[in-house]
Amino acid sequence: MPKETLHREVVIIGSGPAGLTAAIYAARADMSPLVIEGPQPGGQLTITTEVENYPGFAEGIQGPDLMDQFRKQAERFGTEFIGAWIETVDLSQRPFTLHTEDHEIRAETLIVASGASAKWLGVPGEAPAPQGLGGLGVSACATCDGFFFKGKKIVVVGGGDTAMEEATFLTRYASRVSVVHRRDHLRASKIMQDKAFKNDKIDFIWNAEVQEIIGSPETGVTGVRLFDNVKKEESIFPCEGVFIAIGHQPNTQMFRGRLEMDEVGYIKTSGRSMATNIPGVFACGDAQDNFYRQAITAAGTGCMAAIDAERYLDNLPVPTPTGEEITREGERVSADHETLTLPDGETVPNQPEAEGAQVGGD
């Protein structure tokens, strides 16, 4: 069956706070955005429980309910959604082309809001409830869930800056935070290490690997099974919460080699704008931000990306990486300005109308 072709002014990849905020702004600017939802519609907030730090919800709101509100608001202004896995992306010329199993999608501007995913250990007990204890004492976000661990004993897994930051943050609530790290020294920056070492609520369990998170739906987490990889011994360490802090992976693999990124894969944007190295492609949210990583900051950058896309289209024709220019009407002016390719594919000489009429009249 031939693929259905869709051609839109703004295509947004991702439906977390960044993508849906971009959609709300783009839809209200009459740009008829198309949102491509990935494998986790709604993004990381759909796997959290109560969100208490998103402004506007004085009593807090469940993560999935918050994302449902975002989505309804985007739909209200005419955002279109498709749920699909993107197979290929061509950013070499505008409109950019994306292929899914059923669609060829042409995008005059593209907003990458594909988010990031917390890395997990892959051990028994870690999966979201009901399969495991995820949400019942296992988390990957101290800012989201730390509050629920008042006076409790917590394990933080990891030895990088995220682990130090999470551990330090969690001492606001927890009675004790034990950092479990698989080696005998940390990867974290010195300043973050010093902060953690100086905090008398934090201790370290070195050369230890978490092999299992123990507990039940009734009790929540009750401990972790540790393996000391030097002494080759197993032990059970009692605790009431486990925070996995072994890093995040931005979901940007499909843009590798096309969009400029840092070594981890976070897309680089330019100064205060959300513009990437390719004109017409913008990035926002956790695909672009490895520093704040909050729902509210993701939403903010989603808003910025939509405004940037709108202004970009308003200022066409603009040069593309190939040297061609695209006019507001979707015509392509060749790099040497000799020819004009009309939206229907017809190529004509790039001459002022009157001049062209004279030539044709001869």
Q: According to the binding rule CB under 6 A, does residue 195 interact with ligand NDP?
A: no
Q: According to the binding rule CB under 6 A, does residue 141 interact with ligand NDP?
A: no
- Pick the catalytic residue: 90, 102, 141, 200? 141
CB of 166 to ligand NDP, least distance (A): 9
- Pick the catalytic residue: 68, 90, 102, 145? 145
Applying CB under 6 A, which of residues 41, 64, 247, 356 lies at the interface with ligand NDP? 247
Q: According to the binding rule CB under 6 A, does residue 125 interact with ligand NDP?
A: no
Rounded CA-CA distance 104/75 in Å is 22
Residue for token pair 């491509």:
36
| 3 state DSSP class of 164 | helix
Residue for token pair 């990306």:
305
Applying CB under 6 A, which of residues 11, 110, 246, 305 lies at the interface with ligand NDP? 246
Using alpha carbons, select from 90, 118, 121 the residue that is nearest to residue 106: 90
Applying CB under 6 A, which of residues 160, 321, 330, 356 lies at the interface with ligand NDP? 160
Q: How many CA atoms lie within 13 A of 308 on its CB side?
A: 25
Rounded CA-CA distance 333/339 in Å is 6
- 141 as an active site residue: the answer is yes
- 303 as an active site residue: the answer is no
| 3 state DSSP class of 72 | helix
CB of 160 to ligand NDP, least distance (A): 2
Q: According to the binding rule CB under 6 A, does residue 21 interact with ligand NDP?
A: no
**Site mask for ligand NDP (CB under 6 A), range 275-314, x = bound:** ---------------x------------------------
* Helix spans in 61-145 (H): 63-76, 142-145
Q: Which is nearer to ligand NDP, 137 or 159 (CB)?
A: 159
Q: According to the binding rule CB under 6 A, does residue 178 interact with ligand NDP?
A: no
Q: According to the binding rule CB under 6 A, does residue 28 interact with ligand NDP?
A: no
Amino acid at 251: N
Cβ neighbours of residue 295 closer than 8 Å, sequence gap 6 or more:
16, 17, 45, 51, 53, 54, 66
Q: Which is nearer to ligand NDP, 57 or 120 (CB)?
A: 120
Q: According to the binding rule CB under 6 A, does residue 60 interact with ligand NDP?
A: no
Amino acid at 145: D
Rounded CA-CA distance 266/259 in Å is 10
State the number of binding residues for ligand NDP (CB under 6 A): 17
Q: According to the binding rule CB under 6 A, does residue 225 interact with ligand NDP?
A: no
Q: Is the peptide bond before 217 cis (omega within 30 degrees of 0)?
A: no
Q: According to the binding rule CB under 6 A, does residue 182 interact with ligand NDP?
A: yes
Rounded CA-CA distance 129/217 in Å is 8
Residues near ligand NDP (CB under 6 A) are 121, 157-163, 165, 182-183, 187, 189, 246-248, 290
Q: So which residues are the catalytic ones?
A: 141, 144-145
